[in-house]
Structure 1
């Protein structure tokens, strides 16, 4: 198995990565995870702790070495290079079954598996789903762990517990320290044991960099239009005409979990919709993932200012941008203001900092497929 630090050094030498002292300071922890996995057996899953040992907070002395491989929880501000380090981690893990996946996407897969387990009549629906994940994967690399959905919050603790018992090692990034996950969420007291589990089974490290590596990139052709521009509507129409060409646009119907999700205009793998078409309806991560997989470029008209008055729509917009970002979909949009000024106060404004940073990155000329 390679080292993350070696890959980092190679990328610095070839100019792919700009060296950052904060990033370099966490490379030994990433290397440590891979070295521990090399040294620990993977064939025998860890045994769960007995009830009294769990109560006392101590481990099982008879547990196999695989149970002793601590994962890593890497948190810090937006644009600090966490996702890039996760990519390097996945690239370096050549000797073990590993998977690098966005946390939202993974939890959607888990919820689908739970539905199937419940239909089979399984009393503990989480356990067989987690065991199936462990059967295929020893190292899970999650990007952007954040928990806002109560359905995820209520099962994630049990899910991770079984994954750890099965010897799965988890490395994840997040914009929040563990204690701030699912903050102010409904029935949060039921979620708190998961925070203890993270602290017990994962090394928590803050990536404390002063540099936002998503800013200051070379600007390409304008793809974000605000009222300050001379004719934002006309610019959007011109972009649409250029991307679609002579192909006739039609609505696109996507079937997601037995329901229809419509994109109002679609041609040449380019879609166009208004903000309210996509975020004013009760759509979720699975819908946005399906949409992101169907297009190479997406035009969104009329993104408003976001606040508590349209909180649900703002949450959906954040989820939509996450899906587009992960799929590297080219985004062209007209909005009430620049990304950093769309959502400046009230509940949800902290989480939107990451979205604003992603929206800024997605304006780069090299972004996406279109």
Structure 2
């Protein structure tokens, strides 16, 4: 007897979410996967002392109101008072930077905001620079995840925003895979914007975190692709909301939706099923896909897929290029979500 699915089946390729400017501001909070994290729930690798140092530095930073505490002095200045007005968390993917950033937000006095770099740039696009700055200037803390500068316009705009927010007394904590002085390298003529990049780096105390990707422990590669029959069986047994699409159609649809709205596309989605996954050949399409996977990971959405293995979704040239770290983080997150689906 065939199973009758109780799941609600939708298609991401038909989604067209809308978000008002006020919703953009109200939505700047940690995503569901990080809504209950804390410094206490962070599990540093005993073999990597910088992870413990980063946790303690951020804990001290937020509990002391963001001032240059004795701990910051010991770690980064031999007791001298730091002029930095924020903390910049630098490290590879999978070392817990977002966990620590969300923990900082939870421990901070409110109002405070938490969002990815693209969410802040979209806020500026939706509200205009002046209103966005004025709204963020009311915050005690602004947390920026996945800080990256992919074009000169973003460099100048974010440099100005950081300066004006810190001048207003706002504390800033940011995470990135790239040190401030190296932002933009391999993507645009960063040497033409050294003044803006240098001004940006001067806003932060840099805290580096070493370590391996925790998501890869015991999960070195994605599971094998599934057959169409296996995907049909997933739908038959699923509960909640399942988004099923042909992969190329879903990915092409992303070009019609601003990345800041990808999270809204995934509201209430528990599982994604992709038919006929293919290698993405266009870098613009690939970067939009990275942004989608980031929002999927935030929401802990399980992934089932047929076609090529998920670690073949990007070309070798992309993996070796200027966005290497973004693609590797994406593959790490995809692998974790695919194994979640099989568990």
Q: By the TM > 0.5 criterion, same fold?
A: yes
3-state SS of 1:353 partner? helix
In structure 1, what is the Cα distance between the partners aligned to 2:59 and 2:93?
Answer: 23
Cα offsets for 1:297-318 (capped at 9, x unmatched):
2222223224xx4222211211
Distance verdict in 2 for CA 1:38–1:26, change over 3 Å = closer
Residue in 1 that maps onto 2:248: 276
Q: Which residue of 1 aligns with 2:235?
A: 240
Distance 1:167 1:103, change over 3 A: same
Q: Select the residue among 114, 123, 131 that pairs with 1:109.
A: 123
Aligned in 2, Cα 1:176/1:186: closer, same or farther, shift over 3 Å? closer
User: Match of 1:318?
Assistant: 290
Structure 1 residue 276: Cα displacement: 1.8
Partner of 1:37: 65
- Cα distance between partner residues in 1 of 2:266 and 2:192: 33
Give the Cα–Cα distance (whole angstroms) in 1 for the partners of residues 186 and 44 of structure 2.
37
Correspondence 1:1-370 to 2 at 5 A: 8=39, 10-11=40-41, 19=46, 20-37=48-65, 70-93=85-108, 95-114=109-128, 126-135=129-138, 137-148=139-150, 152-186=154-188, 188=190, 191-209=193-211, 211-216=212-217, 224-226=223-225, 232-243=227-238, 269-281=241-253, 282-283=255-256, 284-293=258-267, 295-306=269-280, 309-339=281-311, 342-346=314-318, 347=321, 348-365=323-340
How much is the aligned-residue C-alpha RMSD, in angstroms? 3.3
SS in structure 2 at match of 1:345: helix
Query: Contact 2:272 / 2:301 at 8 angstroms: preserved in 1?
Result: yes
* Structure showing greater Rg: 1
Quick one: structure 1 residues 341 and 89, their matched pair in 2 at CA, closer, same or farther if it must change by over 3 Å?
Answer: same
1:208-247 alpha-carbon deviations (Å, 9 max, x no partner): 22x321122689xxx9542xxxx52222222123226xxx
CA distance in 2, matches of 1:149, 1:289: 23
CA contact (8 A) 2:66 2:86 kept: no
Q: Are the aligned partners of 1:224 and 1:335 in contact in 2 as well (CA < 8 Å)?
A: no
1:162-211 CA distances to partner (integer Å, 9 max, x unpaired)? 111211111111111223322244464564333212321101122122x3
Mark the runs of 5 or more structure 2 residues left unpaired by the alignment: 1-37, 69-80
Q: Is the 8 A contact 2:91 2:176 kept in 1?
A: yes
Distance 1:212 1:172, change over 3 A: same
Partner Cα separation in structure 1 for residue 198 and residue 99 of structure 2: 27
| 8 A Cα contact 1:11 1:17, kept in partner | no
Aligned-residue offset at 1:130: 0.6
The structural deviation recorded for 1:84 is 1.7
Q: Could you tell me how far 1:30 is from its partner in structure 2?
A: 1.4
Output the CA distance in 1 between the equivalents of 2:88 and 2:342: 28
Are the aligned partners of 2:277 and 2:306 in contact in 1 as well (CA < 8 Å)?
Answer: yes
Where 1:363 maps in the other structure, the secondary structure is: helix
Inter-partner Cα distance in structure 1 for 2:183 and 2:100? 21
Higher relative contact order (CA 8 A, sep 6+): 2
Aligned residues, how many? 288
- Go from structure 1 to structure 2 and tell me whether the alpha carbon gap of 1:293 and 1:29 turns closer, same or farther (over 3 Å shift): same
Per-residue CA distance 1:15-45 (angstroms, 9 max, x = gap): x6665523112234213422552669xxxxx
TM-score in terms of structure 2 length: 0.72
Q: Kindly indicate whether the alpha-carbon contact (under 8 Å) linking 1:217 and 1:361 is maintained by their aligned counterparts in 2.
A: no
1:24 and 1:150 map into 2 onto residues whose CA distance is 35
Q: Secondary structure at the match of 1:78?
A: coil
SS at the partner of 1:33?
helix
Closer, same or farther: CA 38–188 of 1 in aligned 2, 3 Å: closer
Partners of 1:367 and 1:171 in 2: CA distance = 35
CA distance in 1, matches of 2:93, 2:194: 24
C-alpha distance 39-24 of structure 1, shift in aligned 2 (>3 A)? closer
Instruction: Provide, for residues 237-285 of structure 1, a one-character-per-residue CA deviation record: whole Å limited to 9, x for no partner.
Output: 22123226xxxxxxxxxxxxxxxxxxxxxxx532111222232242430
